[in-house]
Structures are given as structure tokens and as C-alpha cells.
Amino acid sequence: MIKKYVYGSPVKTGATVMEIAAEGGDPAVFAVERGERYSFSCALGEKDRVYGLGEQVRGINKRGWKYEGWNTDDPIITEGRTALYASHNFIVVCGARTFGVFFDCAGRVQFDIGYTRRDALSVTTEDADVYLIEGEDINAIIHEFRTLIGRSYIPPRWAFGYGQSRWGYQSEEDIMEVVEGYANSDLPLDMIYLDIDYMERFKDFTVDRTRFPDLKGLAARLKARGIRLVPIIDAAVKAEPGYSVFEEGVARGYFCKDAAGDPFIVGVWPGDSALPDVLNEDARRWFGEQYRVLLDSGIEGFWNDMNEPTIFYSRRRLEHTIDNASSWQGKSLALGDYNRLIASFTGLQNNPLDYKEFYHETEQGRIVHERVHNLYGYYMTRSAAEYFEEYAPEKRFLLFSRSSYIGMHRYGGVWTGDNASWWSHILLNLKMLPSLNMCGFLYCGADLGGFGGDTTEELLLRWLALGVFTPLMRNHATNGSRLQECYRFTDMQAFRNVLGVRYTILPYLYSEFVRCALRGEMLFRPLAFVYDDERSAHVEDQLLFGDSVMIAPVYEENAMGRYVYLPEEMKLIRMKGGSYTEEILSCGDHFIEVPVDEVVFFLRPGKVMPIAAPADCVERMDGALRWLQFIQQPTAYELCEDDGISPIRGEECLRRVVVEPQ
């Protein structure tokens, strides 16, 4: 049951798809205080657990820390952070009383989940729609919430293949080197990503013709080999006279404006740039149409970046800071002055004051950015998705974004931003998955191998052994870091084994994904959502993956394996490429040896799993299925059978197959 409560005059965010009449009064579970902000608080019982918040730091159980919904580009992702690139303000309190609550507020939202006091939860928001969701158990509540927010995005089937990316591929030659590197090492590849260097001086919707003389030809040649080129699009548009996207946007008034009505100029990769006002319907449509030049070149997928939106500096604050700094010229600086001088420059990036200084022209009137900050990535991505639908209604496109808000899950997926080549980030990747799924984001993944810093062969292999299960499976790294394409390392057979598992399990991954999207279910669930024993309630490093499988990846360096808790008897599957061994293990704790060239997972009793023979790309898989099984009687499975490209409108693509025990 969903109840809606309205506080103040919240901006309509587009998070939900159902009309619900507002209740009077306050949700019974909270004490509500009205001040400058609204505050919602309740007591937490000794054993209460709190789930949700999608892309966030720390545990699957969010209790014990403070979090913030405020989309932020800051690539140092440590435990001390409170806000990442996305705001997914949905939580479920699970315990003596179990309820879900969604704070639909596009401005800053703060969660204190047993941080100030272990026994208290408090949330503060600006004007907000608050949805209280009650149901029989946590799964029912999440299902109800997913109905409220609408069906999750389903990418084309090829987008479930493995992709290689790197910030730094400069030219067609660089791209071909990667393609051949994979082919020569007999490693699969479905996607190769273009980062900002394909553009002409980082200008959106341009292609540097000296380095990419024939993008259309390149895209076609690669597609013939089953590989898609997936370019990046950044939020901000270079402010440069003569650049048609900029000039047209200015002429039509489609950029965010300052108080005087002039485009608000910010610095990002291209230098001075303007932010398309994607919250304005006409501007959004116009920005979406810009993708056409790339679509016309045969491009079928994009990643949208810098859409928190990131501001390295605002023109105005930068000028002011430079003036201020020059006033110190020739003077002696006391340490405090020196620190202030440095801080005036480092504080330019994503300065909260800048977000108060530009405006959106929306159907709901002129709104200062700060109030709708968390919607920017959502609406940028929506602009692209809406245009793709118009451009080729018979086709699905790959689309994912760095920044997001609930509601965007209907239009695209997410990657979780600039992580690092740290072991702890494998575990963080795992922990975010169920939380993202709760909030509707099913197509998601992290930069495998780590974005920042130098990876190692072992780290990459272990991370890929988790990545084989994540819908978005992309290896991506920053400029200047160690090269981390799989073929750069030593043990090619190990990479073949691990990447091969992805293709082997693809029929299962795809069927589970589509079913979960169509029915509002979670692809990744914490053990606590399925098993009600005390141990399962506390497991933070294992997940259910679909209905049939439990995963428990290794996330420590030099480990021989790891301890795994089995809440029931399960079948251990050790997989290398297309081959595997099976072993039945009893309920309880086991030390499982896991060599780096192997992927292990666990099949639940009474369950089956369709698998296929690996191939070098999704399009070249032969379609023949085998079944992993741990059953005693004929067991039904819903297999997704479609062309992998046409939009999926309903459950017709799911076929019930009965598997006989063997």
C-alpha cells in the first residue's frame, strides 16, 4: 500500500508513473518537524536494518552512517564520503516494523541512519513528496515501489557482452589496436567505448576528422565483426562562436541562464561551456536531436557523462578568484592567507554557490538549479532516450549515465563513476548492486579493473569474476594509468576462462534481467531478502543473482579463496569458459578455494540455469542451450527469447521451459 504526503510545493521530478492522491497529516511512522527544512525522524529498534539509497558508499545495510542525496563528481570514493554521483532517496526500514519510504525531492536530502544515535533515523529534505510504502515483507514493498516508479530500461542483447574502454583512445588506429589485441589473444569483445578524445576539442556531437576520418566506416566495419562503438557525450556544450550546437542553443535560449538571462558559463573539459537546460521540454528535445549525427553514422549506444552537472569552475567565480589572487602579488602571505588562497582555487570545483546562480525554464516556471540539481543527469539521459525512440522506434539502444535520479531507470542504466583500482572497490561494487536494483536501476556496473590508479593482473581478474554477473560489464580506466586491456597481461588463458564465463551464462543473465525488468523484481538481492535466518541477515559480501544463483566473489589480494556462508544446501559450480565442475555442499560455512582463472557460484536447490557455449561476441553465440540444474523433479524456467533488438513491450518474450532432472 502506498500513501503520499506532500510537504511544501515540491518540484515535479518525474520519478513516479502513478497518480496518487495526497493524504492529510503526516506518515504515522515519523515525527515530522517543519523548519527551514522538513525533518522526518523515527526510532530504530536494536535489530532494525535499513536498505536502499542505490548508488552510495558503505554497507548493504545502510545503518550507522550519514548519507546525502546531492549528485557530486568527486573521484576519490572513500568510506568517509556522504554523496556520490546519484541520488536515490528510497529506503526500507526492516525490523519490528517494516516500511519503505521515498523522499521525492530534487534538492539536497540528508539521511542520518543511526549515525548521530544508533537508535534513531532522521531524514531532512526541502519541499518534497514523501511516499510511504507498506507491505507484507521487504520484497513486497520493493515491488510496490517499483510499480510506482515504472518499468526499468532494457538495453539490446549485445549490451550484455563485454566492453573495453579507456580515457585516452585517440584515433582510429588506437581503436583498431584494441580490437586486434582482443582478437589476437582470442578474447571476446562486444563493445569498444570512445571517450572524449574522439571529439573535436571536446565539442559534443563533433568527430575529429583527422584522427577519425571515417567514423561511419569504422562503425560499420566493427559491427560486421560483432563489435559496437559506444561514444561518450558530455553534459556541457563548448561555448565557442561558430560551433553550431552552441550558437543554436544560444539563439533559441536553450542553455541554463544566470539571473540576468545570459547563458551561465562553466568550465569543463572543453573549457568555457554552457549547460543545456534539459529540464525545459523544448531544450531537451533539441539536445536529444543532436545525437542524430552519431546515430546517422551507425552508432547504437552512448554513455552520458559529467551530468551532475560537474562544474570545474564558473566563469564568474574563476575571474573573481584570479583577481583576488593577483591582489596578493608582491605581498607576504601569512600561512592562513596562503591556505585561503589555495582553497579559493580548489573550492572552485562544484562550488555549492554556483548551483544557486543559474536557472531552468520549466513547465513549472523558472527554477533555481539548486532546487532541481539531482535531476540533471536524469533529464539529459531522458533527452537522448526520447529522441532514440523517435529516430528508430523499432530498435533498442544502449544508454547509460553517470549521474541519475530515480525515474531515469526507465530511460537508461548507470555506471557508478570514477572508482579506483583498489580491492575495497570490488566489494563496494558488489554492495551497490542490490541497492541500485531496489531503486529500479538494473542495467548497471562499475569500471572493472578500477578507473583511477594502476590495476594489477590479479585485481583485474578478480574484478572481472564479479563483472561477469553485472549487466554492464565494462573495463574502463583513466588517462595516464597503467594500460588495463586484458591482452596487456600475462596469463591469457585465465582471461579467456573468466571472460568466457560471461558468454556461457548469458542466456541466464539475459532472461533473469528481462524478467526482473518486466515484473519489477531485483536481479541482485541480499541474502536477507530471501532467507530469514540470523546469519543471512548480516551477510554483506554475497548476493543472490537472479532466482537460481548465489555469488560470492573474492575481493582480497593474494587470497587462495574465501569463506562462503550457505544458507541452505547448494551446488558449487566452478566455471572456466564453457566448462565447469559441480559439487554439492551442505548448508553452513565453507572455505572455498578460488583460483584466479576460475569463476565460482552456487546453484540453489530446486533451480535451473540456462547456459550456452561461449563465443567471441553476443551476436555470434549459437543459441544452443544447456542446463545447469540442482533439481529432483521437472522444473519450469522462464527463458527470454526475442530478437535482442526490438523493444520489449510485454511478457510475450518469456517462454516457459520445463527442464527434466538428470
Does residue 370 belong to the site contacting ligand GLC (CB under 6 A)? no
The distance of closest approach from Cβ of residue 483 to ligand GLC in the complex, given in angstroms and rounded to an integer, is: 14
Give whichever of 195 and 361 is closer to ligand GLC, judged by the CB atom: 195
The distance of closest approach from Cβ of residue 398 to ligand GLC in the complex, given in angstroms and rounded to an integer, is: 16
Q: Are 541 and 427 in contact (CB under 8 A)?
A: yes
Does residue 167 belong to the site contacting ligand GLC (CB under 6 A)? yes
Does residue 270 belong to the site contacting ligand GLC (CB under 6 A)? no
* Radius of gyration of the CA atoms of the chain, in A: 25
Number of residues in contact with ligand GLC under rule CB under 6 A: 9
3-state helix, strand, coil in the chain (%, to 5): 30, 30, 45
Does residue 417 belong to the site contacting ligand GLC (CB under 6 A)? yes
Q: Are 400 and 385 in contact (CB under 8 A)?
A: no
Strands of the sheet with 31-34, listed across from one edge: 31-34, 38-43, 120-125, 109-113, 65-69
* Contacting residues for 271 by C-beta, under 8 A, at least 6 apart: 238, 239
Does residue 607 belong to the site contacting ligand GLC (CB under 6 A)? no
Give whichever of 121 and 299 is closer to ligand GLC, judged by the CB atom: 299
Give whichever of 156 and 417 is closer to ligand GLC, judged by the CB atom: 417
Give whichever of 167 and 422 is closer to ligand GLC, judged by the CB atom: 167
Distance CA 150, CA 433 (A): 19
Inter-CA distances, 532 with 547, 569, 607, Å: 16, 15, 19
Neighbour count for residue 658 (Cβ, 10 Å): 9
Distance CA 82, CA 100 (A): 21
Give whichever of 192 and 608 is closer to ligand GLC, judged by the CB atom: 192
Residues 276-315 that bind ligand GLC (CB under 6 A): 305
The distance of closest approach from Cβ of residue 306 to ligand GLC in the complex, given in angstroms and rounded to an integer, is: 6
Does residue 195 belong to the site contacting ligand GLC (CB under 6 A)? yes
Residue with grid cell 542520518, as numbered in its chain:
112
SS3 state at 226: coil
Give whichever of 264 and 451 is closer to ligand GLC, judged by the CB atom: 451
The distance of closest approach from Cβ of residue 560 to ligand GLC in the complex, given in angstroms and rounded to an integer, is: 33
Give whichever of 418 and 638 is closer to ligand GLC, judged by the CB atom: 418
What secondary structure does DSSP assign to 467-499, as a single string? Answer: HTTSSSEEE---TTSPP--GGGSS-HHHHHHHH
The distance of closest approach from Cβ of residue 594 to ligand GLC in the complex, given in angstroms and rounded to an integer, is: 29
Does residue 196 belong to the site contacting ligand GLC (CB under 6 A)? yes
Per-residue contact flags (x/-) with ligand GLC for residues 220 to 259, judged by CB under 6 A:
------------x---------------------------
Closest CA to 627 of 583, 653, 601, 660: 660
Give whichever of 60 and 175 is closer to ligand GLC, judged by the CB atom: 175
Q: Are 216 and 256 in contact (CB under 8 A)?
A: no
Burial per residue of 535-553, b for 16 or more beta-carbon CB atoms within 10 angstroms, e otherwise: ebbebebbbbbbbbbbbbb
Q: Are 262 and 232 in contact (CB under 8 A)?
A: no
Of 58, 238, 382, 402, the one binding ligand GLC by CB under 6 A: 402
Give whichever of 232 and 265 is closer to ligand GLC, judged by the CB atom: 232
Does residue 418 belong to the site contacting ligand GLC (CB under 6 A)? yes
Give whichever of 129 and 195 is closer to ligand GLC, judged by the CB atom: 195
Does residue 190 belong to the site contacting ligand GLC (CB under 6 A)? no
Give whichever of 178 and 612 is closer to ligand GLC, judged by the CB atom: 178
Kind of pairing, strands 86-87 and 404-405? parallel
HEC string of 94-117? ECCCCEEEEEECCCCEEEEECCCC
Tally of helices (H runs) and strands (E runs) in the chain? 15, 39
Q: Are 576 and 464 in contact (CB under 8 A)?
A: no
Does residue 11 belong to the site contacting ligand GLC (CB under 6 A)? no
Bond preceding residue 155 cis, omega within 30 of 0: no
* Contacting residues for 152 by C-beta, under 8 A, at least 6 apart: 146, 409, 410, 440, 441, 442, 443, 516, 517, 520
The distance of closest approach from Cβ of residue 167 to ligand GLC in the complex, given in angstroms and rounded to an integer, is: 3
Does residue 413 belong to the site contacting ligand GLC (CB under 6 A)? no
The distance of closest approach from Cβ of residue 185 to ligand GLC in the complex, given in angstroms and rounded to an integer, is: 24
The distance of closest approach from Cβ of residue 153 to ligand GLC in the complex, given in angstroms and rounded to an integer, is: 20
The distance of closest approach from Cβ of residue 436 to ligand GLC in the complex, given in angstroms and rounded to an integer, is: 17
Give whichever of 479 and 586 is closer to ligand GLC, judged by the CB atom: 479
Per-residue contact flags (x/-) with ligand GLC for residues 60 to 79, judged by CB under 6 A:
--------------------
Looking at beta carbons, which residue is closest to ligand GLC?
167
Residues making contact with ligand GLC (CB under 6 A): 167, 195-196, 232, 305, 402, 417-418, 476
